[in-house]
Amino acid sequence: MINVKLKLSIVLLSVCMFSYAQNRIKLTDQQNKVTINKHIYGHFAEHLGRCIYDGFYVGEANDSISHTAGVRNDVVEALKKLQIPNLRWPGGCFADTYHWKDGIGPKGARPSIVNNWWGGVTEDNSFGTHDFLNMCELLETEPYLAGNVGSGEVQELADWVQYVNFSGKSPMSDLRRQNGREEPWNVRFWGVGNEAWGCGGNMTAEYYADIYKKYATFMADWDNSGGLYRIASGANSADYHWTETLMKKIPNHLMKGVALHHYAVINWNKKGSSTNYSDEEYFKTMKSAWFMNELIEKHTAIMDKYDPQGKVDLVVDEWGGWYEVEPGTNPGFLYQQNTMRDAMIAGMTLNIFHNHAKRVRMANLAQTINVLQAVILTKGKDMILTPTYHVMEMYKVHQDAQLIPITLESDNYQYGDDAIPALSASASKDKQGKVHISVVNIDPSQQKKVSLDLGAIQAKKVTGRILATNSLREHNTFEQPHTVLPKEYKEAKLQGNRIEINVPAHSVIVLELI
């Protein structure tokens, strides 16, 4: 009996040692010159549900909610704290039905539009080009305008560029001045259509490539002296043929970015609840989110083939979780709650973007307020910040920091016969010399003990913040807005060039080394 117990103890010890050995992060020597572009932290505001109207914009006549020119001041304050680098507008699918000239001039004279994509609602165009671009100035962020290629014309997009960017005398700049804006906004980021393979026109890649070249040509002069950052409508998830066609047919001088869209979805026909999901649904969502890593690797390989110097960026301008709408809400408004599952998606995805920052230089979470994986939810006068918001706030230390490549050995998070890595991580060094390491444990029930090897990096002190909850399904509500909040993390133990940490189940940790 004693021998049996001894053997069992040895087996258990071996299992524990094996598990511990699997969770290691090693920072490599610093010969890397890749910067984590701050524009990876972009956001997305489509005319969809309550994102624009009743989200960002409550109207100039509103006397119950504090605002500036109709834009909620609490939203501005919250997004400035995130240091959002860019904001994409007006779509999405809506972009290819939007005619920008309907949204300028006296508001009472603007025509209405029926939003056929999202709920069939009638909008009065009271939030248009001036409203959006002035809001971006309030937010201290760069605008990213998505042009109408699906139902629009080349001249319409060329006129929009002139209207917002040209400082001299011209028909469009004169019209801008007539509408109250003397100086141009100098918009740099331009999407040439959206999801051309679907709601943007159901085009083939070959057809869209030719259409793109036509629009891109007339948006700028010979040398693109205005410095437009033109972004082609890119692939739907694993459509590698789309990326290859665009890279092969469109000259680099006409295109600065190629888009990619991928959502963490269980089943497009049965997406599941945003709060009452099963363990199986959670695993499938995380597996779909982890697929982003493979997507970027394969799309990058195609881009490297045609653009070995890396002149064209991969722009993941739609990403996030997508579930069924909240019960009792308009199905076309895509309003959903945001739990710790979404914090896992955000932390994992941002780590993936960081580690592929050589090619991924811009991204946009879908969407900012009241839609899909929102960072903010509003209800009348009230506003709450979601778990996703808190992850992006914790991670903002990586913006424009130098990537530190890592090697990661992780336990698997297993469900049935399937498995994905339980841990994801990334590291960077900011301009002040501080090193930040982000670690996510998506395992819903198992804590992970992790050993960090700092290599040649010298550290005197380590501090940290953690986002963790008792339940995976916890979230903030208007009744309890502070259920999920980051807290100080005090368990990191620095010993020479090593740090030992315990990463709780379904948690996000950001360490700072000085």
d(CA 385, CA 408): 31
Overall average pLDDT of the 396-418 stretch: 97
> Is the backbone of residue 478 left (phi > 0), alpha (psi -120 to 50) or beta?
alpha
348 contact partners, CB below 8 Å, separation of at least 6: 286, 289, 290, 424, 440, 442
Q: How would you classify the pairing of strands 229-236 and 189-192?
A: parallel
Percent of residues, the chain, with pLDDT higher than 70: 95
What number is the average pLDDT over the span 331-353?
98
Decide the pairing of beta strands 406-409 and 24-27. antiparallel
Domains of the chain: 24-28+406-513 (2.60.40.1180), 36-400 (3.20.20.80)
Exposed/middle/buried for 147, CB within 10 Å: 0-12, 13-18, 19+?
buried
* Nearest one of 501, 426, 504, 409 to 464, comparing CA atoms: 501
Segment 403-419 mean pLDDT: 96
Residue with the larger pLDDT of the pair 16 and 235: 235
Look at 12-26, 187-201, 352-366, 461-475 and tell me which has the smallest mean pLDDT: 12-26
pLDDT of the residue at 30: 64
pTM: 0.94
The length of the chain, given as a count of residues: 514
pLDDT over 50 at 14, yes or no: no
Kindly list the distances between the CA atom of residue 257 and the CA atoms of 34, 253, 360, 373, in Å, as whole numbers in the listed order. 17, 11, 10, 24
Q: What is the pLDDT of residue 2?
A: 38
DSSP assigned state of 128: -
pLDDT at 11: 36
> What does the pLDDT average to over 107-128?
95
Cβ–Cβ < 8 Å for 158, 219? yes
Is 260 a residue whose pLDDT tops 70?
yes
CA distance 470 to 441: 14
Does the pLDDT of residue 183 top 80, yes or no? yes
Which residue shows structure tokens 């909240």? 326
| pLDDT score of 498 | 95
DSSP state of 38: G
pLDDT score recorded for residue 215: 98
Mean pLDDT of 107-134: 96
Q: Name the percent of the chain lying above pLDDT 90.
A: 94
Q: Are 99 and 105 in contact (CB under 8 A)?
A: no
Confidence band, pLDDT 50/70/90 cuts, at residue 31: low
pLDDT beyond 50 at 16: no
Q: Three-state DSSP class for 412?
A: strand
114 by Cβ neighbours in 10 Å (0-12 / 13-18 / 19+) ranks as exposed
Of 341, 344, 338, give the one whose Cα is nearest residue 368: 338
Q: What is the chain's mean pLDDT, rounded?
A: 95
CA–CA separation, 344 vs 506, rounded Å? 7
Nearest CA-CA partner of 361 in 165, 148, 189, 508: 189
Query: Which has the closest alpha carbon to 74: 392, 376, 337, 372?
Result: 376
CA-to-CA distance for 440 and 239, rounded, in angstroms?
A: 28
CB 36, CB 401: distance < 8 Å: yes
- Check if the beta carbon of residue 87 is closer than 8 Å to that of residue 368: yes
Confidence grade of residue 22 (pLDDT, cut at 50, 70, 90): confident
Q: Show the DSSP H helices in 37-125 as ranges.
A: 73-82
| Phi, psi of 306, deg, nearest 5 | -100, -15
> Which residues, in sequence order, are CB contacts of 432 under 8 Å at separation 6+?
none
Please choose, from the candidates 174, 168, 165, the residue with its C-alpha nearest in 3D space to the C-alpha of residue 226. Answer: 165
Sheet holding 402-403, edge to edge: 402-403, 423-429, 435-441, 507-513, 462-467, 487-488
Mean per-residue pLDDT, 120-129:
96
Annotated active-site positions, please?
195, 318
Angle between helices 205-219 and 240-249 (to 10 degrees): 40
Average pLDDT over residues 55-82: 97
What pLDDT is attached to residue 32?
A: 75
Predicted pLDDT of residue 4: 36
* Joined tokens for residue 225: 């002296």
Strand residues in 322-422 grouped as ranges (E): 360-365, 376-379, 382-385, 402-403, 406-409, 412-415, 418-421
CA-CA distance, 241 to 130, in Å (whole number)? 38
The pLDDT value recorded for residue 5 is: 37
Does residue 392 carry a pLDDT above 80?
Answer: yes
Joined together, the tokens standing for residue 362 give: 């811009």
- In angstroms, the Cα distances linking 126 to 88, 104, 107, 441, 502 are 18, 8, 6, 44, 51
